[in-house]
Amino acid sequence: MDWNPAADEDQLFRVTVKFATGMAPAVSGSRWFRDPERNDIQGELAEWPVGPVFTSRTAGDQAARRVGRGFLSAIPVIANIVANIGGAGGSPFGGGAGSGKPEEPENEVDDFPVMWAAPGTLARTVPWQLDPGRRPEGYLTDLVLTSRRLLFLDEVGVLAEFPRESIAGARQMEFSRIGADMRITFADGSWIRLFTGAPRNAERLAEVLRGDVQAVPESALTAAQRERVARFMTNLSRATQPPVYTRFPSGIVRVEVGLPSKAAKDLVDVTWIVIDEMGEPAQPKPGDL
C-alpha cells in the first residue's frame, strides 16, 4: 500500500513480514500461540478467524520430514548464488542458513510458539493477518518502523501500531528458515516471532530496534548521497522495500535494498552499497563495526 509517515516522524525501515514457521522435525510447518503456561490461546484472541490446528509430529513423520528438508536446505545456497551474480559484494543471507544449534530448544524443537502472551498483553493485539494459515493466498503484511512507532500494514491501511517505547527488545533467531526469523519483545514481556524474508532484514531490524545501529531517513543524507542512491535505485526497479539507511559512527552510510529472490516467492535478496558524504564508495573505519 502507499503509506506515508506523519509530519512529526520519519520512516526508517519497511519490510514484508509474517508469523514464522517451525523447522525442527517435530514442529516442521507448524506454529502455535501460547500463554506463559504453554496453553494454546488462539481461541482467546479477539476477532481472530478460525485457523489451522497443529500437533507435534510423530517419530515416523519426523523421519519423512528430514528427507524433505534435505532438499529445502539447498535453497539458501541457490539463492546466494543467484543474488551474487552482478550484485553487490557479500552474501545477502549473512552467515545463517537456518542450520546450527537451536537457541531455545523448548521454543524451536519441542514447541514453536510465534506468540507468547499472557492475558491483556500487547502481543495479543497484533493483527491476525500476519498468520499465513488465516489469510488469503498472496496476501501481504508489512512492518514499518518509524522514529516513534512500529506499525503493521496491509494493502488497505494500518492494521496495528505500537509506540517505540512499548518495544523492550528484538533479536534475530538464527535457528530458522534461512536465519530470517526475528523476535520482538514488548515491555510487558510478551513477544512475537516473525519471518522477514532475509537474514539481513532480521539482523538489521533487530539492531535498529535495540539501538545498536543508527537508522536515518533519506532526508538526513547529503545531496551527493541522495544522488548516488538515486543512481543505485535506477537498476533496482523490482525492489520489495524502500532503502534502509544506517549511519556508522564515522559518518559513512550503508544503503540496503531488498529484491525478490528467484529461490522462493517469499524470500528476499538484499543488495547494498556503503558511501561517504560525497556519495563515493567507502569502507567501514575502526569503531564502525
Q: What single-letter amino acid sits at 40? A: D
* Three-class DSSP category at 235: coil
pLDDT of res. 124: 98
Answer yes or no: is pLDDT of 228 > 70: yes
Q: Which of these, 169, 152, 261, 195, lies nearest to 22 by C-alpha position?
A: 195
Torsion of CA 141, 190, 176, 24, to 10 degrees: -120
Between CA 123 and CA 287 the distance in angstroms is: 36
Mean pLDDT of 241-253: 95
The answer, yes or no, to whether residue 91 has pLDDT greater than 80, is no
Domains present along the chain, CATH in parentheses: 11-212 (2.30.29.30)
pLDDT grade for 1, boundaries at 50, 70 and 90: low
pLDDT tens digits along 136-186: 999 999 999 999 999 999 999 999 999 999 999 999 999 999 999 999 999
Q: Is 90's pLDDT higher than 50?
A: no
**Number of CB atoms found within 10 A of residue 140's CB:** 15
Other Cβ atoms less than 10 A from the Cβ of 109: the count is 16
pLDDT value for 101: 85
Measured in degrees and rounded to the nearest 5, phi and psi for residue 159 equal -90, -35
Assign 100 a pLDDT band (cuts: 50, 70, 90): low
pTM recorded for the entire structure? 0.86
State residue 63's pLDDT score.
46
Looking at every residue in the chain, the average pLDDT score rounds to: 88
Inform me whether the pLDDT recorded for 276 exceeds 90: yes
